Amino acid sequence: MRKLILIIYFILFSLLNGIAQNLPALLNGRINYQKRVNLYALLDDLKGLSNDEKLKLNKIKESTGQFFIQDFTLSFQKDKYYFKRNEAGIQNALTAISNLTIFTDLSTKIFYSEKSIGNDNFFISDTIIPIIWRITDETRNIQGVECRRANGLLFDSIYVVAFFASNIPISGGPDIISGLPGMVLEAAIPQFHTTWLATRISVEELKDEREFNSSFKNSKYVNYKSFLDSIKNMSKNWGFLKELFFQEIRI
Amino acid sequence: MYKYLIISIIILFPFFSKAQNISIQGRLKDSIDYVNLYNSTVMLLQPKDNFLYKFSRTDKYGTFQIKNIKEGRFILLITCSNYADFIDTISIKGDILDIGTIYMIRKEHLLEDVIVKAIREHAVQLIGDTTVFKADSFKVRPNATVEELLKELPGIQVDKYGRISAQGEKVQKVLVDGEEFFGNDPILVTRNLTANMVDKVQLYDRSSDRSKFTGIEDDNKIKTINLELKSDKRNSAFGKVSSGIATDKYYASSATYNLFSDKKKFAIYSLAGNDGLLGVNEDQSSAEYNGKGIPSVISSGIHFDNKWNDDRNYLNSDYKFLSLNIKGMDNQIIQNNLPNDVIITNSNKNFQNQTIKNEINSKFSQTFSDKSLMNISINSSITHQNNNDKLLQKSYQSGNVLLNDIQTILSSSANNKSFNGGLSWQNKITNGITYTLYLNQNYSSGYSNGRLYSKQNFYLTVDSSSLINQLKNGNNNNNNTVWSNTFTIPLNSSQSSHLTINHTLNINYSKIAKNSYNDTLNLLLDTTNSGNYNLKQFEQFGSIFYTYSKNKLFFNAGSNLGYSKYNLLDNFHSLNSLNRTFTIIEPQMKLRYSFSSQHRITLTYTGNNVQPNTNQIQPISNNDDPLNIYIGNPNLKPTYNNTLNFIYMNFKISNRRTILINTNYTFQVNPIVLATSTDNAGINTFKYINILSRNLNMFNSYLIYSRNFEKINIDINSTIGYSNSNYMNYTNEQSNLTSSSSYNVAFGINKLFWKIIKLRINNSVKYNTFKASIQSSMNNKYWTNTLFPEVESNIKSFIFHMDAVFNIQQKTILFPEFNTFIWNAWIGSQLLKNKNLLIKIQLNDILNQNSGIARSANNNLISQENYSTISRYLMLSLNWNFNKSNNK
């Protein structure tokens, strides 16, 4: 049904734009993402643990299960998008972030993000984190939209795979992943055993632009670097799982 | 299909960056109804790595603009739903680049043929003397080895043992990225690397080191294949582990591991087996397996090469170990045509040969500045050999009269060491003049111990029997120095012609000693069968060559001029030294005209002196084989060889048509031939003599034609060949003129059925004639036919493979009709996600017909051999390929 709406939308759109018939583009809408983290694989990557820590981990494994699944919604309008976790507070022994919202303004290339780590809230604002992308010729159909694969390098060292939709001409995506000539509908960071997949795409007009911005008015922002510095400070008390938490917080 | 467009366009371009204020603009329209294309994505990618540099979208009017671009080359990629991707390489300079209107093609209108032609553009190219094959243009199955890729290339054949022949000649070297990889055994490369790692396959004649540094061509050219790897496959770790066990105590197992990075290559291998397919291809005559007997081999090696300091320094080293043990039986019937009789000899031999060899090869090169380059190479080997032969032999005259019978037991063990060090230094002096120094020092020594026991009975003479029971030992030392200076001088400013001037000194000292002791307890020296020689050779020559190379023409001509002094001192018998001086005149000419990069002709002429060797002038008398005795001829004169060679090559891209003509004509003036005299007891005495009255000549020519029929997807290849050689020898003072010719027609097809069954059939028909002026009733004329079918089918993860060799040889006066049908098959299953694990059941020689028969005819001897060899077995094997790409 949803696909049908999308198709109808594209057809209507192309009729309205009589001059250019070819490319119905989706400029306003909402995308639901599911983020999956394979916790067991993450833990298996940890090296140099003591026997005691291994025992602890086994207990933790029992309590968390293999996959940690979170749902997000991304609302977009022309050159702005808003990425938000659906339910705040869901957390387990292996995750650090309890809530997350990111607002990105593509016209100024600045993002505003609110991350809750434990009970601490952080307000971060900086220019969009660059990713070096290599475009490939592989394509995949995600939720009825044709996407092209790109392989990227994040922080010059982390390998990212993303499938972006040329028909959604917003250079955005889930979490930190952006910078492609189209919305990222599926992504993976193999090193972190993390994947994002669009589960639903809907066409709708969004709230007024002012309102769009309002939730980010009052906060005191720090830049990304000083945010990482304060996390590094905090992480001294996090024990042997600190690398794991740090990975999650960085993206 | 439009994927291929990307692949074909990604050519590595250097990436410059300069000014930042450049912009590019253009417009997109539909190619049929000229509608503006809105919201299409226009991307600029960096050509070297496909990284996204900048992107933009088209507006309502279909126009786009990308600003703030740096100067350089980019790949322009335009994507638009329902349209084929548009890809082009653009070079951006100046302020604004307006690429105008681009008409996009809808996917449904895209013609597949156009794309297919585009990728074949450079499937085969001729660059200079090199033939270049683009690997991706030839389809092979996933995980296929380089060996399987080579089989697909026009003009290249690979046999069951992995031996490669190209354009009718054996390929002796396979290089990786232009550098040695485990020296001389091509299998270590072709079965180790996978086909998808290879970008280009280059085929050429590699000149010797000396010729490479001096620029003067010599005779020591070897057919070489170089594999250029894809740049994105240079960073990977890969290898193979395989192990198989079979009936009749056959086994084969091997393991290789390779770690390649941009500048470094590391590899290690180890293998053990006795199936005759593994590791026996060593290019050293001392340890080559020729199909006789059962070879047990253990071998391993390690290779490392590294470039550093901006590629100014390069080191390439490898170490190899080989232990080869060959055991078997050999039964031989020899017919000796005498002027008025025929002697038939029947011999039966049991042999066991063991070789253990350690070898180190190392090369280091350093570029000092743009002006000078230094190379140092070191090769060293230690070889130990043990031979044990038992021989029983009977000769009959006139059909059935027993002439003699001989029983021989010969055992020997030898140790050889060799060391070779080379230095070359190339320096550019002003005005384009280049100076090259080449120094090479070779030292080898060896000693041997052995025992000869031989019991001989002669029935037609008075002294009817004799017994030899001797201990033997030998010693040899050889010291060779080559010193060569070369100047290359350009004759005009455009460097299209130049002159090469060279002076070379070659000094050789050898000591050869061989002792035979009659009484094994008291060690009484047998003076007739012992020898001790000192050999000095001093060779000096200068050469001058002129080279002209412009546009399509290449011309090179010149000559070596000099002399060679030869001094042989017999310490043992005469204390007289033998002095000889030979002149060296070696003119050479080469003319090449390239009509295009797919079409060329080459004509060469070489003349050279072939000096008689020590064994021909004064051999050490040897009683190992009492029926065949060699005596020297100190008055031998050098032979003069003239060789003319003509090569025509023509490739057509669209249907991969290949036409290749190779014609070779050699005539020898003053030829050195063998004179044989056979006495009443059946003992042959051999002596080398010059023939002054007559020139000998050899001619051979072949034409290869191959092409692809695209509609029915068949590759065909055909060869027509003719060869003739005229030879002369003396038998009991009577001259014997022999002439042998062979006519050869071969035809092959190669077809893929339903994308899963690969069929390859080759058939070769040969008509051979052999004429000898002595005993002309024994002249031979016969047909042979060889058929090689090969089928391979790959359905999902199952592989079925079958191949056969069907040999028919017509009855001759001497030999009965002789047919063999050797049929091999295997089935395998590919397991794991990437099909990396192959389980294989292999049945070798299903009909058990590999009987090991060889026939030969030369001079006035015709022989048939029947030897023990590897026959039917059933093998179960497990092969695991692993590959991890380290690309970011």
Q: What is the 3-state secondary structure (H, E, C) of B803-822?
A: EEEEEEECCCCCCCCEEEEE
Q: Which is more confident, B776 or B426?
A: B426
* Pairwise CB contact (< 8 Å): B77 & A134: no
User: Using CB atoms, which residue from B6, B43, B60 is nearest to A137?
Assistant: B6
| Cα distance between residue B597 and residue B592, in whole Å | 12
| Cα distance between residue B780 and residue B815, in whole Å | 10
Residue B212 has pLDDT above 70, yes or no: no
| Cα distance between residue B639 and residue B97, in whole Å | 69
Spell out which residues of chain B touch residue A146, defining contact as CB-CB under 8 Å: 81
Q: Tell me how far the alpha carbon of residue B784 is from its chain's centroid.
A: 26
Q: What is the pTM of this model?
A: 0.61
Whose tokens are 């005191």? That residue is A220
Q: Nearest CA of chain A to the CA of B49: how many Å?
A: 7
* Pairwise CB contact (< 8 Å): A180 & B79: no
* pLDDT tens digit sequence for B83-121: 777 877 777 777 777 777 777 777 665 544 344 333 344
Interface residues of chain B, partner chain A, Cβ below 8 Å: 2-3, 6, 30, 35-41, 43, 45, 49-52, 55-57, 60-62, 77, 79-83, 85, 888
Q: What is the pLDDT of residue B888?
A: 42
Radius of gyration of chain B from Cα atoms?
Answer: 32
A50 Cβ contact partners less than 8 Å away, ≥ 6 residues apart: none
User: Using CB atoms, which residue from B30, B43, B62 is nearest to A135?
Assistant: B43
Query: Of the candidates B754, B747, B746, which has an alpha carbon nearest to the alpha carbon of residue B713?
Result: B754
Tokens (6 digits) for B794: 């790959």
Residue B17 has pLDDT above 70, yes or no: no
| Cα distance between residue B229 and residue B130, in whole Å | 17
B764 band by pLDDT with thresholds 50, 70 and 90: very high
Q: What is the pLDDT of residue A22?
A: 46
B334 band by pLDDT with thresholds 50, 70 and 90: confident
| Cα distance between residue B725 and residue B740, in whole Å | 6
* pLDDT tens digit sequence for B811-838: 877 677 878 888 999 999 888 877 788 8
* Average pLDDT across chain B, whole number: 82
Q: What is the pLDDT of residue B820?
A: 83
Q: What percent of chain B has pLDDT over 90?
A: 19
User: Using CB atoms, which residue from B38, B77, B81 is nearest to A20?
Assistant: B38
* Pairwise CB contact (< 8 Å): B50 & A135: yes
Q: Closest residue of A to B5, CA-based? A: A137
* pLDDT tens digit sequence for B469-528: 888 889 999 999 999 998 888 888 776 788 889 999 999 999 988 888 887 677 788 877
Tokens (6 digits) for B223: 């057919």
Q: What is the pLDDT of residue A8?
A: 59
Q: What is the pLDDT of residue B785?
A: 92
Q: Nearest CA of chain B to the CA of A180: how many Å?
A: 8
Q: Tell me how far the alpha carbon of residue B887 is from its chain's centroid.
A: 33
* pLDDT tens digit sequence for B643-677: 999 999 887 766 778 888 999 999 999 899 888 88
| Cα distance between residue B768 and residue B741, in whole Å | 6
* pLDDT tens digit sequence for B252-289: 898 989 888 878 889 998 888 888 776 655 544 444 67
Q: Nearest CA of chain A to the CA of B78: how many Å?
A: 11
* Pairwise CB contact (< 8 Å): B38 & A181: no
For range B538-542, the mean pLDDT: 93
| Cα distance between residue B720 and residue B724, in whole Å | 14
Spell out which residues of chain B touch residue A165, defining contact as CB-CB under 8 Å: none
Q: Tell me how far the alpha carbon of residue A106 is from its chain's centroid.
A: 16
User: Using CB atoms, which residue from B62, B83, B888 is nearest to A20?
Assistant: B62
Q: What is the pLDDT of residue B701?
A: 93
Q: What is the pLDDT of residue B14?
A: 34
At A212, which amino acid appears?
Answer: F
Chain A, 145 to 204: residues with Cβ < 8 Å from chain B are: 146, 148, 150, 153, 157, 159, 166-167, 169, 179-182
* Pairwise CB contact (< 8 Å): A23 & B36: no
Residue B1 has pLDDT above 70, yes or no: no
Q: What is the pLDDT of residue B122?
A: 55
Q: Closest residue of B to A166, CA-based? A: B41
* Pairwise CB contact (< 8 Å): A20 & B85: no
* Other Cβ atoms within 10 Å of B795 Cβ, number: 10
* Average pLDDT across chain A, whole number: 77
Q: Tell me how far the alpha carbon of residue B129 is from its chain's centroid.
A: 17
* Pairwise CB contact (< 8 Å): B43 & A22: no
Radius of gyration of chain A from Cα atoms?
Answer: 19
A170 band by pLDDT with thresholds 50, 70 and 90: confident
Q: Where are the beta strands (DSSP E) in B773-860?
A: 780-795, 798-809, 818-831, 837-844, 853-858
* pLDDT tens digit sequence for B113-160: 344 333 344 567 777 678 888 888 777 777 788 888 888 887 787 877
Q: Nearest CA of chain B to the CA of A181: how many Å?
A: 7
What are the φ/ψ torsions at residue A152 (nearest 5 degrees)?
-130, 165
